[in-house]
A and B are shown apart, each in its own frame.
Chain A
Amino acid sequence: MNLRPSTILLCLGFLSMPLANSRPAHATLGEKADSVEKDRKALSGVKTTEKASRTNYKIQEITSAATTLREFLTPDGVVFAVAWNGLAHPDLSTLLGRFDQEYKNAKKQLPRKHGQSRSAVKGDHVVVETWGHMRNLQGRAYVPALVPEEVNLDEIR
C-alpha cells in the first residue's frame, strides 16, 4: 500500500458521508493512519486526540457521539490494533479493511451460541473480541503479526 495516508483517510471519509455526516471514519487495520491534524481535517465532526505515546507504540483516540475508538499505531504509523467502547459497535467492515473477509469467514465457522455477552473470533491473521452490554459495548481487533514486541495484549483496550 503506497497510497498516501491522508488519501486513505479522505477516501474513508467520503465513503461514509452519504450515510450520515457525523459518521466517524476510522483508520483501517494494517494500514497507515495519518497525523492528528490531517485526521481532524478529513473527519468533520470527529474529535481526534493523541492519547498516549509509549516507546513501542502510540494511541490515537477518535470520539464520536456513539463510540470512542482508540487506534494503536506502530512507530511507523501502521494501525496494528483498534479498541472501542460506547453505545454501538463501530462498522467492522470499515475497521477491518482487507481482514474483513477473513473475519467474516472465521465467524461463520463458529457454532451458534446463546447467552453470551461477548464474542471472540480468531482468523489466521486477525482477532476480533467483544464484550459488554447495551449502552456500554466494547471490543477490540488486532493483527497479531503487526503487534510490536513487548506490547502486552491487555494494553489493547
Chain B
Amino acid sequence: MRYDNFICALLLAFAVVMAGCGGGGGGQKAAPPPPPTPTNANVMAITVNGALCSAATSANFINKPCVSVTICNPGSTTCQTINDILLDTGSYGLRIFKQAIPNLTLPQVSSGSGSLAECTQFADLSSLWGPIQMASVQLGGETAVQIPIQVIDASFATRPSQCSSAAADPVSAGFTGVLGVGVFAQDCGPGCASSVVNGIYFTCTGANCTGTTVPLVTQVQNPVPSLSQDNNGLIVQIPSVPVGGVSSLTGSLLLGIGTQQNNTLSATALLPTDPSGDFTTVFNGVTSRGFIDSGSNGLFIPDVDRADLPVCSNPDWYCPPTTVTLSATMIGNGGSPSVPVPFNVSNFNTLLSTSKSVFSDISGPSTFGFDWGLPFFMGRNVFVGIEGKAGLGTTGPYIGF
C-alpha cells in the first residue's frame, strides 16, 4: 500500500503541475503509468482510462474505471486474466465476453432440462445476452470463488426480444467485461426466484428459450459476498482530479470493510439504502432518489432550469461558460444522515476538446433522479456495504464515504 500511495501522490503532483502549465501548451501526451502491483491480497488495482482499459474498447469512453480479473475453469489451473473489466457499483455480478476467454471451458448452469441464459438490461436500454456458466473467479490475491457468471454471447441460442440489440462484441459494448460490485449479492434477487420475470432469465433448449424462475444460488453472483474473507463490502479509492481533468488515473479497490489493516478506515457519512439500493438526494430544492454508480461517467442531476447550467449542443451534458460549484444533499434511507456533497461542473465541450479523458467536473441533466457517477468517487474512499453483511457498525445495504 505504501507503494500505491506513493504512486497516487506522484500522479497527483503530476496532475497539479500539468494543470499549472495552462492550456494550449504542446500536444505531448504522457503514456499512462503502469498500474501498481498490489501487495495485499484484498487489493485490486483500478485504472481510469489507464493501462487496465483496452484502447480498442475505450474510444469515446471518458471516466472509464477498469480492473483485471482472473477466471479459471472450476477445479483447474487453466486460467485467463482479463483486463478491461468495467468496475460497476451500479450492477451485480461478473459478465465477460466469450471472445475474451477462448482458453476456458466453463460448465453450463442448467435450468430444468435446459441451459440457463440471461438478458441483462441496463438503464440506457443496452443489453447483454448469453449463457450462465460456473467459473472460478479470483479478485486480487483473494482465494478464488466458484460462482455463476454470464458469458456474453449474442449468438447463443435465440435472443429474446428484450435482447434484440444485445452487444455483439467488446468494441460495441465499450468493455470486455463488467464487474458488478454494488450493494446486492445477486443480479435479480428474490423476484426472479419466485416468478418468471420476463426479460431477464431464460431456459434454453437448442435454439428455443423461454422465461424461467431461478433460485438465488444460480443467479449471477456479485463475487464480493462470496469471498471466504473480506466479503462484507468494498472500498473504492480513486484519487482526486483537478478541475480540467487528467489523462488517466490509478486507484485501488479494497475488498472488505474493517476486516484488514488496510481497509479499517472511518467513513464520515454512512447512508443506508432502500431495497433498490437508492437513497434520497435533494438538489436545487427538488427531492429525488439517487444512487452511486462507478459505471456512470458523469454526475447526472435532475434537470433544473438554472441560468448557470446551460446544456451543451449535445444535450447529454452541461456547458456552463465558467466552472460552477454546486452542492446537493444526500439523505440516507429512513431520513438520516443528511450530508451536503459539493461538486463542480465545467464546460463539457471545452473539457472534451483537450486530450484528457478523466474529469471530476462533468455533469448532465437527468429526467429522473440523481446519478452520482464516477466524479463522485474521485478524492474519496467510497464504501459499498453488501446487503445482510455487517460493517462500519451497521448492516448492509449501505454506502459510505
Contacts and interface: CB of A to CB of B under 8 A. Distances in A.
A68 to B, nearest CB: 12
Main secondary structure of the interface of B (DSSP, over half): loop
Given A20-B211, A113-B316, A87 B192 contact: yes
B111 interface: no
Given A66-B191, A118-B368, A138-B368, A133 B123 contact: yes
Size category, B interface: 35 or more
Given A89-B125, A130-B123, A65 B91 contact: no
Contacts of B188: 87, 135
B198 A117 contact: no
Interface string B158-200: 0001100000000010100000101010011101101111111
Contacts of B295: 115, 117
A119 interface: yes
Given A87-B192, A117-B371, A130 B366 contact: no
A131 B366 contact: yes
A134 B368 contact: no
Size category, A interface: 35 or more
A29 to B, nearest CB: 16
Contacts of A140: 367
B385 interface: no
A66 B184 CA distance: 17
Contacts of A20: 196, 198, 210-211
A116 B124 contact: yes
Contact of B196 (A22, A115, A120, A133): A22
Nearest to A107: B125
Contacts of A87: 188-189, 191-192, 197, 199-200
A134 B220 CA distance: 12
Contacts of A136: 276-278, 291
A108 to B, nearest CB: 10
A50 interface: no
Nearest to B198: A23
B68 interface: no
A114 B63 CA distance: 10
B333 to A, nearest CB: 13
15 contacts: A22-B195, A23-B196, A87-B199, A89-B125, A91-B161, A113-B124, A115-B174, A117-B124, A117-B371, A118-B124, A119-B125, A131-B369, A135-B277, A137-B121, A139-B125
Interface of B: 60-64, 90-92, 120-125, 161-162, 172, 174, 180, 182, 184, 187-189, 191-192, 194-200, 210-211, 276-278, 291, 293, 295-298, 300, 315-316, 366-369, 371, 373-374
